[in-house]
């Protein structure tokens, strides 16, 4: 996740995480929320992206430019740091599709766009709408609007996996 995405998300949300210690996976703890400022990306590249994946990332960068001003090179670098970039690209495609769906049918000020994005980041990690609303720190959007945003998200919930050091 790029530095800008980290800043955007940090402004609004706490993310649900799965913890893994060393190589051994622990069972998911759906009640564990963590500040995004405490999550650090892997420092080195884990994967090499195929050309079609880079093409999809270009589209993501374009579709989310309102809420993330990172360069294409930064987007690609961040996805290459993921252990499973295909899974992450699909997750971000679902976020971008829902963002485009909602923002194309509503007139949104910049703060509202960021809140829509934040709600979608949360929704990508859990289906618990009450928890999403609780952690979204809404200022511009109403709870009903946040739930409408969530309804536009068609991807699966996939909590961020982090390694605890």
pLDDT in tens, 8-29: 443 333 333 333 333 344 444 5
Local structure of residue 157 (DSSP, 8 states): P
Total residues found in the chain within this entry? 165
pLDDT confidence of residue 15:
36
Local structure of residue 140 (DSSP, 8 states): S
- C-alpha to C-alpha distance for 46 and 126, rounded to whole angstroms: 25
Strands 160-163 and 14-21: parallel
Tens-digit pLDDT profile for the chain (165 aa)?
554 454 344 333 333 333 333 334 444 454 555 555 555 555 666 788 999 999 999 999 999 999 999 999 999 999 999 888 999 999 999 999 999 999 999 999 999 999 999 999 999 999 999 999 999 999 999 999 999 999 999 999 987 665 555
For 121-139, what is each residue's pLDDT tens digit?
A: 999 999 999 999 999 999 9
* Average pLDDT across the chain, whole number: 80
pLDDT confidence of residue 21:
35
pLDDT confidence of residue 41:
57
- Which residues, listed in sequence order, are joined to residue 50 by a DSSP beta bridge? none
Structure tokens at 121: 């980041």
Structure tokens at 55: 């093409």
Buried b (16+ CB within 10 A) or exposed e, 30-69: beebbebeeeeeeeeeeeebeeebeebbeebbebbeebbe
pLDDT confidence of residue 129:
95
pLDDT confidence of residue 64:
97
pLDDT confidence of residue 34:
54
Judged by phi (left if over 0) then psi (alpha if -120 to 50, else beta), residue 137 lies in: left
């Amino acid at each position: 996740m790029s530095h800008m995405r980290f800043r955007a998300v940090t402004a609004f949300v706490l993310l649900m995480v799965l913890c893994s210690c060393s190589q051994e996976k622990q069972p998911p703890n759906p009640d564990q929320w963590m500040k995004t400022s405490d999550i650090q990306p892997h420092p080195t590249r884990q994967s090499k992206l195929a050309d079609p994946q880079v093409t999809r990332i270009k589209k993501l960068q374009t579709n989310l430019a309102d809420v993330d001003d990172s360069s294409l090179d930064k987007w690609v670098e961040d996805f290459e740091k993921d252990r499973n970039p295909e899974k992450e690209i699909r997750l971000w495609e679902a976020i971008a599709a829902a963002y485009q769906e909602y923002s194309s049918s509503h007139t949104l000020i910049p703060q509202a766009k960021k809140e829509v994005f934040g709600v979608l980041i949360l929704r990508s990690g859990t289906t618990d709408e009450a928890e999403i609303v609780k952690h979204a720190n809404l200022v511009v959007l109403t709870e009903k609007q946040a739930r409408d945003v969530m309804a536009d998200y068609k991807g699966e919930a996939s909590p961020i996996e982090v390694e605890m050091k």
